[in-house]
Amino acid sequence: MSDSIKLFGTDGIRGVANQFPLTPEFITRIGSAIAQALGRDTTQPIALIGRDTRASGAMIENALSAGLMACGFDTLHVGVLPTPGIAFLTRALNARCGIAISASHNPYQDNGIKVFGGDGFKIPDESENEIETRAQNYELRITNYEIGTRRDDTSSIQIYFDFLLDAIKRAPILQGTRVVIDCNNGATFRIAPRVMRELGAEVIALNDAPDGININRGYDSLEPKLLRDTVLRERADFGVQFDGDGDRAVCVDERGNYIDGDFILAILARDLRAPTVVSTMMANIGLEKSLRAIGVAMERTAVGDRWVTERMRALNAQIGGEQSGHIVLFDGGHTTGDGIYTAVRIADVIARSGKSLATLAECMTRYPQVLINVRVPRKPPLENFPAIQQRVAHAQATIGDGARILLRYSGTENLARVMIEGRDATLIDREANAIADVIRETIT
């Protein structure tokens, strides 16, 4: 094949399980390509592999393992584990790479492959490009390699569990509190309740019985209604919701207010006394104003934790993240966003400050923001459609200069996203829907 198809998006390889590129045959080729791209000049290379709770996870895991072992890699399988736990263990166990099999917050039919380097960070673009080329090279022949071995060892999960508790020196900081946790039947279903109980909390666990197809069922990244209703009914101190692979966390305070990633960044930036916070174009203007009030600069990147992490590394920043609850904290030695780690750090701030989550969240005022997802069959450049651009210009003129309008495609799904932020909630809702209608008519 002379021209490679783009396999990697902003968050690894993503698709519908059992359809290209996530067929067993092609996944085996991906495994071999990973080994050949990352295994040069390495003695006894090890690939650490974990997954979330999707029914297709075991199939993908076995196909990847076959391709890796055929090229001389040993594979270490840690079972169901949050994606950030896989990244952490990759570095802790000196593996050559780590592979998380997950489609994050997507429905169960989807799945994906995320590849981390030995340093625990996502592999660079050059490595992704080489994997794509090798996987799609029909002349690929595997020779001159020792066949690798497979080892299953879920006991190494304890290393990640210890890391989470060591973040707060194993103190029972939540003694006497009641906490609601929604695991969305994903990779956190065992470890998150266990961590919170170890911290002393009375835990009320929701969606902690995965069956392979109920992962992310009813998941809402910004307004988790089930979590809110349960916190209020149980009179809990706060609630935390994780997505399917556990790299995101959003909260509900004791009053039932939604505490998204913007609020979490505002709270943790104050606790860390961070000079700079990195977030994305989707971050609410309220976060920017909240940080400016304490002399903290905010850097905006394109949407996606990859871009946030890269900018943090360039600036030597210790904290960054997204409104969706993907929070990256480098101060504790982590390399990627981690929902459970975020929850532990928020719990620590609550305990040390003696303040409730609702009180802590008063440091930021959220500006009205509307986000509409429009399903599309393809993703042509939105700026190429005069009708869409004219409707955006009309909306900007109608709302005024105080508004922000952002149009973009999802990096992981066939969705066009329309976001408008301004002071008048009714007006921005009307204009966002009008733009969404034009996108729907123009592209679909």
Annotated active-site positions, please?
Answer: 104
Check whether the bond before 224 is cis (ω within 30° of 0). no
- Distance CA(343)–CA(277), nearest Å, equals 18
Token pair belonging to 406: 């952002």
- Distance CA(196)–CA(293), nearest Å, equals 33
- Distance CA(444)–CA(425), nearest Å, equals 27
Contacts of 346 (CB under 8 A, 6+ apart): 238, 240, 251, 264, 267, 268, 357
- Distance CA(205)–CA(183), nearest Å, equals 7
The secondary structure of residue 222, as a DSSP letter, is S
The secondary structure of residue 402, as a DSSP letter, is T
- Distance CA(195)–CA(104), nearest Å, equals 21
Ramachandran angles phi, psi of 239, nearest 5°: -135, 155
Q: Which long-range contacts (CB under 8 A, 24 or more apart) does 228-233 make?
A: 228/252, 228/256, 228/258, 230/180, 230/182, 230/204, 230/206, 231/180, 231/256, 232/256
